[in-house]
Amino acid sequence: MSRDTCQTRRSLIAAGAAGVGLLLVEPVRFALAASKEEKTREGIGPVEDLMREHGVLRRVLLIYDEVIRRLDAGKDLPPGVVADAAGVIRRFVEDYHEKNEEQEIFPRLEKAGKLVELVKVLYAQHRASRGLTEVVLTSSTPAALANAESRRRLGEALRRFTRIYRPHAAREDTVLFPAFRSLVSPKEFAALGEKFENKEHELFGEEGFEKMVNQVAGLEKKLGIYDLSQFTSTL
Ligand SMILES: [Fe+2]
Ligand SMILES: [Fe+2]
CA 122 to centroid of ligand 1, rounded, Å? 6
Name which of 209, 216, 191 is nearest 64 in CA terms.
216
CA 140 to centroid of ligand 1, rounded, Å? 24
| Whether 101 and 31 share a structural domain | no
| Whether 213 and 106 share a structural domain | yes
Given this model, what pLDDT does residue 216 score?
Answer: 98
| Whether 101 and 177 share a structural domain | yes
Given this model, what pLDDT does residue 207 score?
Answer: 87
CA 19 to centroid of ligand 2, rounded, Å? 55
Ion ligand 1 neighbours, Cβ < 5 Å:
101
Amino acid, single-letter form, for residue 175? V
H or E element, residue 107: helix 106-111
Name residues whose C-beta falls within 8 Å of residue 200's C-beta, 6 or more positions apart in sequence: 49, 96, 208, 209
d(CA 203, CA 211): 12
What SS3 state is found at 45? Answer: coil
Q: What is the pLDDT of residues 73-115, one digit of tens each?
A: 999 999 999 999 999 999 999 999 999 999 999 999 999 999 9
| Whether 111 and 144 share a structural domain | yes
Q: CA angle 205-208-210, nearest 5°?
A: 145
Ligand nearest to the CA of 53: 2
Q: What CATH number is given to the structural domain containing 123?
A: 1.20.120.520
CA 186 to centroid of ligand 1, rounded, Å? 23
Q: Which range marks the domain in which residue 80 is found? A: 43-226
| Whether 68 and 98 share a structural domain | yes
Q: What is the pLDDT of residues 3-28, one digit of tens each?
A: 454 454 555 444 444 444 444 444 44
Domain count, the chain: 2
CA 176 to centroid of ligand 2, rounded, Å? 9
Q: What is the pTM of this model?
A: 0.81
Ligand nearest to the CA of 46: 2
CA 107 to centroid of ligand 2, rounded, Å? 14
CA 170 to centroid of ligand 1, rounded, Å? 10
d(CA 51, CA 169): 9
Is 232 domain-assigned?
no
CA 92 to centroid of ligand 1, rounded, Å? 12
